[in-house]
Structure formats: C-alpha cells, structure tokens
Amino acid sequence: MIKVKFAGIQYLGDSGITQTCKEAVIQLIHSGKNIQDVKILTFEETHSKAHALLLTVEYDIQIVIKGGFASGYNGEAPKGYAYVLNLLRNYTDSINEYIVSKSTFERVSNSSLTVKDLEYINSIKPVRPSRWYDSAYLYKECERSIFSEFPLTIPMALLDPRLIQLALDFDKNPDNAIMSAYRKIESIVRERTGLDHESSTKLFAKAFQGDDSILYWGNLDSGESKGRASLFASVFMAYRNNRAHQEPRHNLSDDIREFMLINQLFILESEAVVRYAQE
C-alpha cells in the first residue's frame, strides 16, 4: 500500500465562504507577512470558475487560502476574488493562475494537499494570457477603499513606553485613554520643569517656546525647534480642548489618529533636555 505524503502547509479560510477567505488574506498582510508569490488555483466548472490561493511568504513558507472565491458571474465570491487580487497586487508582482483538477481542488477544501499535488502545481504552466486582471478590473472601483477593511488597531511597536498601558485598554474606552494621555503629558512636563501651577498651552509655551525655554532640543536649527515647540500647544488647542468639552464622538479611526498624535508629543518630550531647572 502506497503511503500518501501530505504537504506540510497551513490552510486558512473556509471553502465556499468568501468573507473568511478575505479576512485570512487581510490578517496575513496586517500581521506583516511578506507575500512573495501568489498562485491562483482554479477549478473550471461549466458556467463559472472556483478559485483558491497558494501563497508563498518569507522563508518559502506556503499558505493555502481555501476556495472561497469565484469568477464568471455576479456575486460576493467574484467581488471577494477581485478584492484580494487588487490587494495582493500591491505587495507582489508574482501573481499567476493555474488550472487544477476537481480532485486537487477538493483536497484544497479538505486541507489535504499532498506533496505530489504541490509538485504538479509547480510543474504546470500558468494561464496565458493572464486573465486574472480582468476579474480584478471588474471591481476596480473598490480598489480606492481596499484598506478600509483592515483592522483598526494601534501600532504598538511605535508607541512611547509610557503609553503602553493606556493603549492596552484603548478598545474598552478610547476617550478615557486619550484624555488620560493628555493629562499624563501635562504631568510629565510639569514635573520636569517645575511649572506646577501651569497647564495646557501656557504650560507648553513656558516649557518649550523661546530662546530661553526650560526644555529644548539640542542640535536643531531654530525653525525646527519652534515647530516642535508649537506642536504641543497646537495639538491641545485643536484636539484636547474640544474633546474635554464635548461628548465622545465614537469614531475609532479618528480616536486612533489622535492617540498617535499624542504619542508623537511623548516622543518629542523624551528627546528634549533641561536647559535649566525652574526655581
């Protein structure tokens, strides 16, 4: 009896369910996977085509996105197919389509591709002329908003360490995290400068602005120093004051952008040095 050797690859998504397959591709890209090659595995039916994806990422790791995509008719599966094609073409120029048998496609669905299947796929010629462009073009108007389906998350690797705890609780209460960050940067600047009775724009003006400011950035020309100094007051005037006197807007995109803007203030503060201590 011949023992079948299964391919040691990862399977993502659910066969016949477009949304989970789309989300699998999005999560791979969002997590930083380097998409190096895309093989579209196509099973041609009488009036339509079913599609799965075989992706190669860094270290030659192969990942299968199951057959939740289709073409040849109108519907969610063709739209999802166009979406992932328009998305993936931003990350690699190596996208090719390969015709596979019904049995091979079924093994994709059952997470049971064999080593021989992969050898066969690697041996056959891609479809020429390329026709996946046609599928992508049908829904090209969606390309403008292609990244709007990505998860709205704070890029933790970019955060000042003093904001990490607030960021971990951000999803529960963004408004509280943002207001706490504003209060925190004020407290830090007060402590460093000794300006215990100042707050908001007056605090930052005395701390950073002017040739005799308490805090300053070394090795910067005067224009850049003034720009950095004015950024503190500008952010508070443009965002903090309004937030302090308004009901939360509950717009997660705007909240994350504002939190990252405050993060930049933390980074600038950490780079500033004390010119003299306030008596």
Per-residue pLDDT reduced to its tens digit, 251-277:
999 999 999 999 999 999 999 999 865
Neighbours of 193 (CB within 10 A): 22
Better pLDDT: 228 or 140: 228
Q: In the chain, pLDDT over 90 holds for what percent of residues? A: 81
Give the model's pLDDT for residue 279: 53
Give the model's pLDDT for residue 242: 85
Distance between CA atoms of 273 and 215, rounded to whole angstroms?
5
Distance between CA atoms of 244 and 236, rounded to whole angstroms?
10
- Find the mean pLDDT for residues 193-212: 91
Q: What is the DSSP letter of 126?
A: P
Cα angle 77-81-87, degrees, rounded to a multiple of 5 = 145
Give the model's pLDDT for residue 140: 63
Q: Which residues, in sequence order, are CB contacts of 204 under 8 Å at separation 6+?
A: 189, 229, 232, 233, 236
- Residue bearing tokens 């690859």: 9
End-to-end CA, the chain: 89
Give the model's pLDDT for residue 244: 82
> Domain spans of the chain?
10-149, 156-274
One-letter amino acid identity for 246?
Q
Per-residue pLDDT reduced to its tens digit, 125-179:
999 999 999 988 876 655 568 898 999 999 999 999 999 999 999 999 999 999 9
Distance between CA atoms of 37 and 39, rounded to whole angstroms?
7
Per-residue pLDDT reduced to its tens digit, 11-59:
999 999 999 999 999 999 999 999 999 999 999 998 999 999 999 999 9
Distance between CA atoms of 179 and 156, rounded to whole angstroms?
18
Better pLDDT: 279 or 33: 33
Give the model's pLDDT for residue 143: 58
Q: What is the DSSP letter of 159?
A: S
Q: What is the DSSP letter of 93?
A: S
CATH architecture of 10-149: 3-Layer(aba) Sandwich (3.40)
Q: Locate all alpha helices (DSSP H) within the chain, ordered by sequence.
A: 18-30, 76-88, 102-109, 115-123, 132-138, 164-168, 174-193, 200-208, 222-235, 241-244, 252-271
Joined tokens for residue 217: 């950035």
Q: How far is CA 69 from the centre of its chain?
A: 23
